[in-house]
Amino acid sequence: MSNLVNPHGGGDLNPLLLEGDALAAEKDRAATLPKVVMASREVGDVIMMGIGGFTPLNGFMNKADWQSICDNMTMENGLFWPIPITLSTDSDTAASFNEGDEVALVDGETDEIMATMNVSEKYSIDKNHECETVYKTTELDHPGVKMVMDQKDVNLAGSIKVLSVGSFKDEYGDQFMTPAETRAYFTEKGWSTVAAFQTRNPMHRSHEYLAKIALEIGDGVLIHSLLGKLKAGDIPADVRSNAIGTLIEKYFAPDSVVQAGYPLDMRYAGPREALIHALFRQNYGCSHQIVGRDHAGVSDYYGPFDAHDIFDEIPEDALETKALKIDWTFWCDKCDGMASMKTCPHSAADRMLLSGTKLRKALSEGEPVSEKFSRPEVLKILRAYYAGIAEEDKVEIKMSGHSAA
């Protein structure tokens, strides 16, 4: 019997991906339906619902849920949910079918039919309101705000049947783990306390330190990498995965860490994204989520520990997965090792603050990087990547203001 946290909502996992004869039949039917083209973020959301990562959702949200989540971080039925999961289309497409009709949801980049949807509602939203409440800004320089503002004019709500997980399984193999698979893995290992480490970057020494703190107080760590789209300047998922795998092999005890990935695009929503990360990590079976400095932040839109504070602002029973809050971490020359503000008595002059932004900039400019900053085996992989990219892409990296989380 599993001792893991329950899926969000308290019931069983709710994967919406069809299989076998039902999948074949629905694919045939989907080819006859009106098509709605999805953006990359929406495709990721469909796949997440398909594998049960967004349990207990049955599809894209209606206007009442959108409004309640923006204002209260709960769906209309009271279920905690910090970021709306919505689908948009243009006015002409929306006018071509009625509420109650079924449509096929198509990946805008590959033309693959990813799901079918029973359209229960067509509605419009105040995009500025979503940006103000969820992202805490309406500035278009914020990539999450731009994502919302780029949505089409009409939102579609309704239950979906998922037909595909796209290319993630082909590209990442066993690293693309579903919530059912991570739960089975944790149970087989006898783990009940599992901390998730969120990353969209290769892990430097500070990240490694955070994961090892979690290992000291729990059974295992899930290093959970985003496999969806990032922004210019961030390191591609295949390079990141290789670097993280090498770090695990060389510097972690055997059978203490599992590396996996999930299919979402980054929203860069800072504190609210920290909450949704914890929510779907609960579905993956994690009892804790490591929350360090500027979790899921971008540039200086959020304070370094706003993502800590937001966990104190939600009801105790909102999530079973709890935040493992960790202060600033750094290399201290006088401590002769990694430390944090809670453990190190020395001055700022003795400390090397580590960040993914600094690491990307140094590597893109061919500058030396101390082994106090990143492990040599990881640096070798990253240097090989930067040596092979075009100079114009390196400019994007130098100008990138993304945080390290």
Q: Give Cα 335 distance to the centre of its chain.
A: 34
Per the prediction, the chain carries an average pLDDT of 93
Summarize pLDDT for 361-372 with one digit per residue, the tens.
888 888 888 989
Summarize pLDDT for 342-352 with one digit per residue, the tens.
999 999 999 99
Question: Residue 364 has what pLDDT?
Answer: 85
Task: Compute the distance between CA of residue 343 and CA of residue 338 in angstroms, rounded to an integer.
Answer: 10
10-45 burial code (b ≥16 CB/10 A, e <16): eeebbbbbbeeeeeeebeeebeebebbbbbebbbbb
H or E segment to which residue 89 belongs: strand 87-89
Q: Give Cα 241 distance to the centre of its chain.
A: 15
CATH superfamily of domain region 173-262+270-399: HUPs (3.40.50.620)
Residue 27's closest CA among 14, 35, 18? 18
Same fold, 20-165 and 173-262+270-399: no
> Is residue 303 pLDDT above 80, yes or no?
yes
Question: Residue 357 has what pLDDT?
Answer: 76
Question: Residue 238 has what pLDDT?
Answer: 86
- Annotated catalytic residue: which of 14, 62, 155, 201? 201
Question: Residue 362 has what pLDDT?
Answer: 87
Task: Compute the distance between CA of residue 175 and CA of residue 229 in angstroms, rounded to an integer.
Answer: 17
> Is residue 7 pLDDT above 50, yes or no?
yes
- In 3-state terms, what secondary structure has residue 309? helix
- In 3-state terms, what secondary structure has residue 199? strand
Residue 229 DSSP label: -
DSSP string, 98-128: -TT-EEEEEETTT--EEEEEEEEEEE---HH
> Is residue 317 pLDDT above 60, yes or no?
yes
Question: Residue 391 has what pLDDT?
Answer: 58
Contact 75, 65 (CB under 8 A): yes
Task: Compute the distance between CA of residue 69 and CA of residue 165 in angstroms, rounded to an integer.
Answer: 26
Largest CA distance in the chain: 68
Q: State which amino acid sits at residue 273.
A: E
Question: Residue 404 has what pLDDT?
Answer: 39
Task: Compute the distance between CA of residue 80 and CA of residue 344 in angstroms, rounded to an integer.
Answer: 37
CA distances, 318 to each of 5, 53, 195, 279, 310 (Å): 13, 17, 18, 9, 12
Contact 404, 355 (CB under 8 A): yes
Kindly give, in sequence order, each residue whose CB lies less than 8 Å from that of residue 248, ignoring residues fewer than 6 positions away: 223, 257, 259
Q: Of the spans 32-36, 296-300, 390-394, which averages the highest pLDDT?
A: 32-36
Task: Compute the distance between CA of residue 198 and CA of residue 261 in angstroms, rounded to an integer.
Answer: 10
Summarize pLDDT for 155-193 with one digit per residue, the tens.
999 999 999 999 999 988 999 999 999 999 999 999 999
Question: Residue 78 has what pLDDT?
Answer: 98
DSSP string, 2-56: --SPPPTTSS-----B--HHHHHHHHHHHTTS-EEEE-HHHHHHHHHHHTTTTTT
Question: Residue 48 has what pLDDT?
Answer: 98
Question: Residue 148 has what pLDDT?
Answer: 98
Pick the CATH number of 20-165 from 3.40.50.970, 3.10.400.10, 3.40.190.10, 3.40.50.10310: 3.10.400.10
> Is residue 395 pLDDT above 90, yes or no?
no
> Is residue 397 pLDDT above 50, yes or no?
no
Summarize pLDDT for 218-227 with one digit per residue, the tens.
999 999 998 8
Kindly give, in sequence order, each residue whose CB lies less than 8 Å from that of residue 365, ignoring residues fewer than 6 positions away: 394, 398
Residue 356 confidence class, pLDDT cut points 50, 70, 90: confident
Residue 248 confidence class, pLDDT cut points 50, 70, 90: very high
> Is residue 154 pLDDT above 70, yes or no?
yes
Sequence length of the chain is 405
> Is residue 232 pLDDT above 80, yes or no?
no
* Span 191-204, average pLDDT: 93
Task: Compute the distance between CA of residue 171 and CA of residue 206 in angstroms, rounded to an integer.
Answer: 28
> Is residue 147 pLDDT above 70, yes or no?
yes
DSSP string, 231-298: -TTSPPHHHHHHHHHHHHHHHS-TTSEEEEEE-PPP---THHHHHHHHHHHHHHT-SEEEE-TTTT-B
> Is residue 394 pLDDT above 70, yes or no?
no
Asked if 375 is an active-site residue, the reply is no
Summarize pLDDT for 19-66 with one digit per residue, the tens.
999 999 999 999 999 999 999 999 999 999 999 999 999 999 999 999
- Annotated catalytic residue: which of 41, 183, 200, 360? 200
Asked if 41 is an active-site residue, the reply is no
Summarize pLDDT for 103-127 with one digit per residue, the tens.
999 999 999 999 999 999 999 999 9
Domains of the chain, by residue range, sit at 20-165, 173-262+270-399
Pseudo-torsion of CA 97, 102, 108, 112, nearest 10°?
-140
Question: Residue 399 has what pLDDT?
Answer: 42
